[in-house]
Every structure is written in C-alpha cells, then in structure tokens.
Structure 1
Amino acid sequence: MRDGISFIVEIVNNIHDILIIMINDIFGMQMTDKDMHFWIMGFIGIFTFACVFVISKWLSQFPFGLHLIAFLYTLTFMFVLVFAIEIQQAITNRGNMEFIDAIIGLWGFIALFLVYIAVAVFFILMKTIFRKIRKKDDIDI
C-alpha cells in the first residue's frame, strides 16, 4: 500500500508542477503555490458539488432515495476514514499499513448496512401485513 500511495503522490506532484509551469510560464501569470491551491481546489470543489447536487436531486426522487444518498455519503466518509487510519499507522509506525485492512473495514460497514436493510424491510413488511389484516377486519364488520 505504501508503494501505491507513493505512486499516487508522484503523479499528483507531477501534475502540480506541470500546472504551475503551464499557468505561470505559458499564460504569463505569476501565481504563487497558495494562489494555485486556492483556484484549483476551488474549481475541483465547485465541480464536485455540482455533480453531487445533480446526482442527489435525481436520487431523491426514488422511493428510498434519501437512504441511498445517506448510504453514499457515509460510504464516502468511510473511505476517507479507513485510508486516513492506514496512513496514520504508516506515519506513526503504530500498526501495519495494509490495503486489506481498509477493504475489510469497508466490508464491515457494508455488512452491517445490509443487516440494517434487512431489519428495515422486515418492519416494512410487517407494517404492510398488519395494515392489510386491519383493512380486512374493517371490511368484515
């Protein structure tokens, strides 16, 4: 996992250097590293927000759309958390930084979420059955 992160860091550093050269030299702008971070991260953030907004609005139209939106948000949070923990282990040398640990942690969340879905479906079915029984009793009287 350490090699994978080093590879990704190298790619990001190369893109960073290329952007600085391109914007400062080709376009004649004299932007500092802080200026670059402000604009690039600002554009990435607003683009991401627009995509998430459109997808969330679309998903909210479905019967269990809010649950799906909450699941996707939580899954994104869990990705960040499990990889932050693994990176923290590598930095502090407390534990082993292993990709499989992150995957197992994510599977734990997904497994417990499936249990949540099963319990929710059970209660929805019971509610539907009891409503039909009550409606049938009302008709018989």
Structure 2
Amino acid sequence: MNEVILVIVEMMNEFHDVMIGVFSILGINITDKEMHFWVLGIFGLGLFFFTHFIFKRVSKWSISSLSFIYTFTVLVVIVFAIEIQQKVTSRGNMEFQDAIQGLWGFIVLFSIYAAIKLIFLAMKKSLKSMSATKNKKGKTRFSRNHQL
C-alpha cells in the first residue's frame, strides 16, 4: 500500500511540474493555488460530463445500478482514507490488500442482496403471469360500470 501511494504521489508531482512548465511556456504566471483552481476545475467539469453521460445510460437499466456505482465510489475513498489514517497514526498496518478485502466484502454482500432481489422479482412476475392466465381461462372480470 505504501508503494502504491508513493507511485501516485510521484505521478501527481510530475504532473504538477509539467503543468507549471506548460503555464510558464504560455507566458502565464500563476500561483500554485490558481493552478489548482484551473486544473481541478477543468478536470472536475470533464469528469462531470463523462459521469453524466454514463449515468444517463445506466439509469435506463435501473436506479439500483446507479446506487451501486455511487456507493462503491464512496467506499473506495473511505477505504483509502482508512489506510492512510492507519499509516499516519501507526495504528494498524497500511496494506493495499486490506483495501481490496474491504471492497470485496461490499461486492459479495451486494451480490447476495441482488440475488435475493432478483428471486423476489421473478416470483412476483410468475405470480402475475399465473393470475393473468387464470383470468383468461373462463373467469370473466366485470368492471364496476358493467350493467346486466
């Protein structure tokens, strides 16, 4: 886990240096805070458009899929925050495998939930189908407004 964080930090440092160089070449003299404003603002807006595009399509399948994606994303942030906290406070071991196991726990338990939900939906659909078949086999249903 330590190595993963160090690689990410190194990548961010390299990106930071490249961006400072790009702004410098363009003759734009900005502070570190201004660079963060523009880079993260543009990155965030791009991420929003990408996410919006994906979520619009996924929402046509089911709202549960959107809830899953959101929950998983939040869990990823929480899991890594916990691992970093363990490193900073020296309480527990900061290991990448811990993060993976935590996320697997959610995936397994969510899969069980989804399977149970699918079973209930299939049973409900089957009961509706059986009910509709019974009504077609001779039982006539009259509406309230039907007059004899």
Q: Is the TM-score greater than 0.5?
A: yes
Aligned mates of 2:120, 2:37 — CA distance in 1: 49
Q: CA deviation at 1:118?
A: 0.8
Aligned mates of 1:97, 1:81 — CA distance in 2: 14
Q: CA deviation at 1:120?
A: 0.6
Aligned mates of 1:28, 1:94 — CA distance in 2: 47
- Can you list the C-alpha shifts for 1:74-118, whole angstroms capped at 9, x where unaligned? 111111111111111001111110111100000000001101111
Q: Which residue of 2 aligns with 1:72?
A: 69
Structure of greater relative contact order (alpha carbons < 8 Å, 6+ residues apart): 2
Q: Which residue of 2 aligns with 1:6?
A: 6
Q: CA deviation at 1:138?
A: 2.0
Q: Which residue of 2 aligns with 1:84?
A: 81
Q: Which residue of 2 aligns with 1:113?
A: 110
- Can you list the C-alpha shifts for 1:55-86, whole angstroms capped at 9, x where unaligned? 11122223x3x221221111111111111111
TM-score (norm 1): 0.92
Matched, 1:20 2:17: no
TM-score (norm 2): 0.88
Aligned mates of 1:79, 1:126 — CA distance in 2: 34
Q: CA deviation at 1:4?
A: 1.9
Q: Matched residue of 1:137: which SS?
A: helix
Matched, 1:29 2:28: yes
Aligned mates of 2:114, 2:7 — CA distance in 1: 38
Aligned mates of 2:59, 2:18 — CA distance in 1: 40
Equivalenced residue count is: 138
Q: Which residue of 2 aligns with 1:60?
A: 59
Sequence identity, in percent? 43
Q: Matched residue of 1:95: which SS?
A: coil
Aligned mates of 1:111, 1:48 — CA distance in 2: 28
Aligned mates of 2:99, 2:124 — CA distance in 1: 38
Gapped regions of structure 1 (runs ≥ 5) = none
Q: Which residue of 2 aligns with 1:41?
A: 40
Aligned mates of 1:55, 1:7 — CA distance in 2: 29
Aligned mates of 2:51, 2:97 — CA distance in 1: 28
Over the aligned positions, Cα root-mean-square deviation in angstroms equals: 1.2
Aligned mates of 2:136, 2:60 — CA distance in 1: 34
Aligned mates of 1:98, 1:10 — CA distance in 2: 19
